[in-house]
């Protein structure tokens, strides 16, 4: 993982996850955020229907969640979180270590069920690149010893007390006087020493099209869309994470200090962007 | 030399693979009813599909991400899911129409009732998607689809008054007894047939299947900029044969058999043989493309393993989706719904779904973090913006015109 600046919503959330051999192993369905003693950091990627179901509206989300629980083994299924230490590369896809990929593949209830009871029973399901480990329908059932020795497992249940990014997105950001600065749409992160530390909150008055990237690159074309989104996002401001005094979920709310030099993201001089 | 053949093969398959049941029906119908006065729409549609297919192919080659990956990434799970539902409804409808088209082509060849053919065709399509290698599938049906060139040969044999054809194409006017609303309804149908969303789903996912990298951009562009326009010329040839044969007599075309009649008139048995091969290959190939597209898009939204580059067991969810959509398609056809009518609806609804697909492609093709030097240039952006506007207008106008004209009555 190289060090640098990262816009979490634009560059990580909802991106494809791949393995070292370009296997496709899901989407970044949510991000797990935790407060440590000195910083607000990203601790993991939430992968799978357990995470996705909470971002889908109403009954649909409940339905996706119910199917996921039904197909999970164990009495109390927990959403799967991949620690950020397992991320080996961030490009258009998010690349994970071999161990994390294997652990994720074991967590896919629907894939394993279909493999065992539907697709595996049709003649010709095995191709030239067939791996005997798949014959049981899921691959190795328990991690090998060398992996069990690792200090941190390749995937884990959600950390207690952690917040999920999607629960904060769209939350109103207020200052201490109750004056509303706008809605939270993006979290800016600095990556260094294998740690993803949140640096700024981006706050807007018009949440339309925030995942499109026009706030990150002031020169992104085509000109017409650039102008339209620039106009919509002209009052966006960056609030340093140090100015947060309170973060609440249900209902989500972020309170920040009143003072502070806030600037538009396009005038971001301290954080050089890739590209 | 090897590279030259690879490029030539790509172009030939692009030509042969361009025409599907939607293009066949729309062009035949419009040619018979409006002469060449809607030919301009085909040209507008071809430029549009070239612009966006090139963009999606470029993104797939440079970043390895196919179209629905980008839709989820840029529109988020909620809007992305809405988009998925709409696009998949249209693509599934098209898939159903293509399977019906294959059955109709087989009926023409054998005089066996199409409802006996439909389950056989469904099983055959699924078997191809289950076991046949991607490159074989693409090349075989693309090349066989080239047999549709008989329409161009037939047109030349019919010896039409070329200057009159050119006149009616270059100075479009409303034929007697047709209303403006019907004219524009069919304009949208033709446009939808040329720019169907599944074409970019399939094209970009196919690029990932074949492992394109930035080095393959030249080949990809040759396919798009030479293959697609020549395929579009085939569409025009179909419209022109119908315009020459049926338009002066005010005969309406509503079966696949009528559509092929001019070829029989001009070229006899041999022409019919090529025609039947062409019909079969074009619809069967497109059935494979649409069937795969349904699986590709759903898998890409959820991040599942997809593709024919891994054994089916590794992409169990993807193959289950393909299997289920085949069963649904066959089931719908067995309700004795008319496949030609299904095709007409599928191309009009395609027009409605167009902006959902093309907007995210345009945005990501501009993202210099992924695309680097391969991001959109000025020309791609100008054309992309203009076409975004055109597809927007077509999408908004499609349903009101459909209601107003009672689907072109």
pLDDT at A272: 47
CATH 2.30.30.240 fits A4-148, yes or no: yes
Residue A85: closest CA among A2, A194, A182: A194
The tens digit of pLDDT for each residue in B64-89 reads 999 999 899 999 999 999 999 999 99
Interface contact B77-A111, CB threshold 8 A:
no
With beta carbons under 8 A apart, name residues in chain B contacting A128.
Answer: 311
Do A16 and B69 lie within an 8 Å CB cutoff?
yes
- Give the model's pLDDT for residue B307: 93
Strand A87-90 and strand A94-96: the pairing is antiparallel
Alpha helices in B111-210 (DSSP H): 114-131, 134-145, 150-158, 162-170, 180-194, 197-209
Contact yes or no for A55 and B312 at CB 8 A: no
Q: Which of A29, A93, A221 sits opposite B366 (nearest CB)?
A: A221
Check which CATH number belongs to the domain holding B397 and give it.
1.20.1740.10
What is the tens place of the pLDDT at every residue in B36-54?
Answer: 999 999 999 999 999 999 9
B317: pLDDT strictly greater than 90: yes
- B291 within domain boundaries: yes
Residue B265 lies in a domain: yes
Position A206 pLDDT exceeds 90 = no
Q: Mean pLDDT throughout B361-389?
A: 93
Strand partners, A192: A195
Q: How many domains does chain B have?
A: 1
The predicted structure's pLDDT at residue A260: 66
B278-292 burial by CB neighbour count: b if 16+ within 10 A, else e?
Answer: bbbbbbbbbbbbbbb
Peptide bond into B37 cis (omega under 30): no
Name the residue range of residue B105's domain.
Answer: 2-404
CA distance A201 to A183: 10
The predicted structure's pLDDT at residue A143: 47
Residues carrying CATH 2.30.30.240, chain A: 4-148, 169-267
pLDDT, mean over chain B:
93
Q: How far apart are CA B223 and CA B215, in angstroms?
A: 14
Is a pLDDT exceeding 60 seen at residue A241? yes
A114–chain B nearest CA distance, Å = 6
pLDDT 10s digits, B146-194? 999 999 999 999 989 999 999 999 999 898 888 999 999 999 999 999 9
Between CA A87 and CA A99 the distance in angstroms is 11
pLDDT at A72: 81
Q: What is the pLDDT of residue A133?
A: 62
Give pLDDT tens digits for A68-88.
Answer: 888 887 778 899 999 999 999
Hey, is the C-beta of B69 within 8 angstroms of any chain A C-beta? yes
Which residues of chain B make contact with A119, given a CB cutoff of 8 A?
312-313, 316, 319-320
**Residues A151-197 pLDDT 10s:** 678 999 999 989 999 999 999 999 888 889 899 999 999 998 888 99
Greatest mean pLDDT range, A175-179, B17-21, B107-111: B107-111
Q: What is the mean pLDDT of residues A43-72?
A: 91
Confidence of residue A273 (pLDDT cuts 50, 70, 90): very low
3-state secondary structure of A44: strand
**What residues does A33 pair with on adjacent strands?**
A42, A163
Burial of B359 (0-12, 13-18, 19+ CB in 10 A): buried
**Chain B contacts of A11, Cβ < 8 Å?**
369
In chain A, whose CA is at the least distance from the CA of B209? A22
- Sorting pLDDT into bands at 50, 70 and 90, what band is A269? very low
**What ipTM did this prediction achieve?**
0.90
Residue identified by tokens 């990203």 is A42
Q: Is residue B350 part of a domain?
A: yes
Task: Pick the range with the lowest mean pLDDT from A26-30, A132-136, B246-250, B347-351.
Answer: A132-136
User: For residue B409, is it within any domain?
Assistant: no
For the segment B327-340, the average pLDDT, to the nearest whole number, is 96
Task: Tell me the CATH number for domain A169-267.
Answer: 2.30.30.240
CB B252 within 8 A of CB B33: yes
CA separation, residue A251 to residues A30, A46, A175, A254, B165 (Å)? 18, 21, 16, 10, 67
Q: What is the mean pLDDT of chain A?
A: 85
């Amino acid at each position: 993982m190289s060090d640098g600046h990262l816009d979490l919503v634009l560059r990580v959330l909802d991106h494809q996850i791949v393995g070292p051999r370009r296997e496709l192993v899901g989407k970044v369905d949510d991000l797990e955020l935790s407060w440590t003693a000195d910083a607000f950091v990203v601790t993991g990627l939430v992968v799978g229907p357990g995470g996705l179901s909470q971002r889908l509206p109403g009954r649909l989300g409940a339905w996706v969640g119910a199917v996921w629980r039904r197909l999970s083994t164990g009495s109390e299924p927990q959403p799967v979180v991949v620690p950020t230490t397992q991320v080996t590369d961030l490009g258009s896809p998010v690349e994970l270590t071999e161990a994390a990929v294997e652990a994720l593949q074991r967590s896919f209830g629907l894939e394993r069920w279909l493999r065992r009871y539907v697709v595996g029973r049709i003649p010709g399901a095995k191709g030239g690149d067939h791996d005997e480990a798949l014959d049981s329908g899921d691959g190795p059932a328990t991690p090998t010893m060398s992996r069990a020795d690792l200090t941190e497992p390749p995937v884990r249940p959600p950390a207690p007390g952690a917040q999920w990014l999607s629960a904060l997105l769209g939350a109103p950001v207020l200052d201490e006087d109750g004056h509303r600065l706008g809605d939270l749409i993006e979290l800016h992160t600095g990556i260094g020493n294998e740690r993803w530390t949140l640096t700024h909150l981006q706050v807007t008055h018009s949440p339309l099209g925030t995942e499109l990237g026009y706030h990150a690159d002031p020169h992104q074309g085509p000109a017409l869309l650039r102008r339209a989104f620039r106009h919509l996002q002209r009052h966006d401001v960056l609030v340093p994470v140090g100015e947060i005094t309170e973060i609440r979920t249900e209902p989500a709310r972020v309170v920040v200090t009143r003072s502070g030099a806030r600037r538009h993201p396009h005038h971001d001089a301290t954080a050089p962007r890739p590209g | 030399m090897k590279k030259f053949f690879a490029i030539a093969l790509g172009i030939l398959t692009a030509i042969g693979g361009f025409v599907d049941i939607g293009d066949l029906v729309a062009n035949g119908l419009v040619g018979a009813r409006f002469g060449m006065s809607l030919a301009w729409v085909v040209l507008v549609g071809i430029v549009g599909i070239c612009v966006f297919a090139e963009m999606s192919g470029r993104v797939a080659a440079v970043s390895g991400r196919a179209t629905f990956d980008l839709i989820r990434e840029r529109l988020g799970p909620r809007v992305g899911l809405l988009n998925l539902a709409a696009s998949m409804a249209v693509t599934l409808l098209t898939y159903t129409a293509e399977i019906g088209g294959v059955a109709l082509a087989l009926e023409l060849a054998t005089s066996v009732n199409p409802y006996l053919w439909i389950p056989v065709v469904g099983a055959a399509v699924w078997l191809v998607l289950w076991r046949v290698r991607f490159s074989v599938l693409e090349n075989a049906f693309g090349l066989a689809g080239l047999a549709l060139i008989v329409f161009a040969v037939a047109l030349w044999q019919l010896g039409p008054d070329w200057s009159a054809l050119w006149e009616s194409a270059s100075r479009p006017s409303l034929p007697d007894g047709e209303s403006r609303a019907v004219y524009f309804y069919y304009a949208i149908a033709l446009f939808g047939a040329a720019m169907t969303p599944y074409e970019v789903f399939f094209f970009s996912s196919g690029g990932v299947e074949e492992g394109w990298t930035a080095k393959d951009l030249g080949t990809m562009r040759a396919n798009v900029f030479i293959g697609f326009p020549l395929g579009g010329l085939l569409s025009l040839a179909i419209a022109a044969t119908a315009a020459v044969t049926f338009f002066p007599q005010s005969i309406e075309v509503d079966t696949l058999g009528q559509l092929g009649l001019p070829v029989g008139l001009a070229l006899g048995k041999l022409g019919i043989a090529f025609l039947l091969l062409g019909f079969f290959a074009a619809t069967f190939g497109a059935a494979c493309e649409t069937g795969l597209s349904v699986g590709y898009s759903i898998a890409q939204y959820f991040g599942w393993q997809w593709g024919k580059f891994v054994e089916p067991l590794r992409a169990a969810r993807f193959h289950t989706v393909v299997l289920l959509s085949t069963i649904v398609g066959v089931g719908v056809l067995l309700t004795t719904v008319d496949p030609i009518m299904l095709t007409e609806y599928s191309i009009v609804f395609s027009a409605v779904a167009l902006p959902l697909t093309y907007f995210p492609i345009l945005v990501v093709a501009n993202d210099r973090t992924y695309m680097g030097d391969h991001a959109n240039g000025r020309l791609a952006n100008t054309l992309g913006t203009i076409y975004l506007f055109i597809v927007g207008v077509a999408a908004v106008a499609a349903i009101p015109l459909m209601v107003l004209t009672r689907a072109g009555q």
